[in-house]
Structure 1
């Protein structure tokens, strides 16, 4: 009797810094979809921000600290190692090549990103490589544009079981119970202002931020 196909997820983001909202959502997505592994993939270039700039490698280190020994979550640095622009379609192609044609490959995105999906590079090829799962707050609705409707076409399915019948080609909207309203922007702001970020992110991440002085203004002595 052959073993069931492996189930792999990809969740990209700037993770600047990673916080409980990212990690709890990742855990809930992995459980809901029954994923064997969820690759959390930091994007190479977050929007330009004031000093001190936290490098991509430092964001990866914070992500590793945040994940710790959580089963099934994996900090993946492939987009940081890639030359030139980093596109999701290239990452999906790599993952498909690594895990094989029968693997259930899922790109997990937030609802705001989904509403702009038709503007992504080679958006029309995404469904030929993977499923798309959209994380949404319970009861959260927003009308789709005609361009988005055209892109999705007949891909939408109603359940995880339906999605996992095939290696790719489906779209599922998944309501996550927690969906914490924590933003990395808010955390960076509090750090700049010297305020507490406790309980917003894992202790290991907070400790690393404090030890390295990430996201905090340089003092006059450093200028």
Structure 2
């Protein structure tokens, strides 16, 4: 990996991880020429419902999922799962910036849905001080924030040139034209509760693990 290559972190609860996560990030990696994507599972996210699966179960599912992918682009950082407190993304990227140094290009991969809620995160609008934001498309979501001031914050950082993400350490927002994939973790959990199949929505190894663990229902299929 070249010295100036962008390292991107993909945060989420992954409860469970599914093909929507994987296909989006594979497409993003091609668009941005990423040489490394590091999955960053959340422990206790402050702005979402608490995960159904335990921390180690979600970590195992991410490991199983990326093991099925055809290259070594993807790895895992479990630092947030090792915390006993809530997962604050700003805290994590402050730590990462300290570890990688001031000049290393770092990115945080989020969906359009998360971008729109960023002003409600703990110091969410300060994240570009530490990393770039790489935004994946989500069905039914636009790219405008909730008021004029926040939209100015967004537009002043927006870039259409992915190469710029490799040329400076932080500060930019790139909205990638990734496929809009109609798969969600909440829908998969609902399918398990209702006894409906999830074939084609999650990797087979993750599906087998869910079944063996009895996750999301008493009759995983």
Structure whose alpha-carbon radius of gyration is higher:
1
Report the more deviating stretch, 32-41 or 55-64: 32-41
Q: CA RMSD in A?
A: 2.3
CA contact (8 A) 2:139 2:181 kept: no
Look up the match of 2:90: 89
CA shift in 2, pair 1:66/1:147, >3 Å: same
Look up the match of 2:42: 43
Shift of 1:143: 3.5
CA contact (8 A) 1:11 1:40 kept: yes
Q: Secondary structure at the match of 2:210?
A: helix
Q: Secondary structure at the match of 1:115?
A: helix
Shift of 1:215: 1.0
Report the more deviating stretch, 142-151 or 189-198: 142-151
Structure 1 residue 60 corresponds to structure 2 residue 62: no
Q: Secondary structure at the match of 2:191?
A: helix
| Unaligned runs of at least 5 residues, structure 1 | 219-223
Structure 1 residue 210 corresponds to structure 2 residue 211: yes
User: What TM-score comes out, normalization by structure 2 length?
Assistant: 0.86
Moved over 6 A (4+): none
Alignment of 1:1-223 (within 5 A): 3-45=2-44, 47-48=49-50, 53-68=52-67, 70=69, 71-137=72-138, 141-144=142-145, 145-152=147-154, 154-176=156-178, 178-217=179-218
User: What TM-score comes out, normalization by structure 1 length?
Assistant: 0.86
Distance, in Å, in 1 between the alignment partners of 2:11 and 2:175 is 17
Report the more deviating stretch, 82-91 or 136-145: 136-145
Report the more deviating stretch, 144-153 or 162-171: 144-153
Q: Size of the alignment, in residue pairs?
A: 213
CA shift in 2, pair 1:185/1:138, >3 Å: closer
| Unaligned runs of at least 5 residues, structure 2 | none
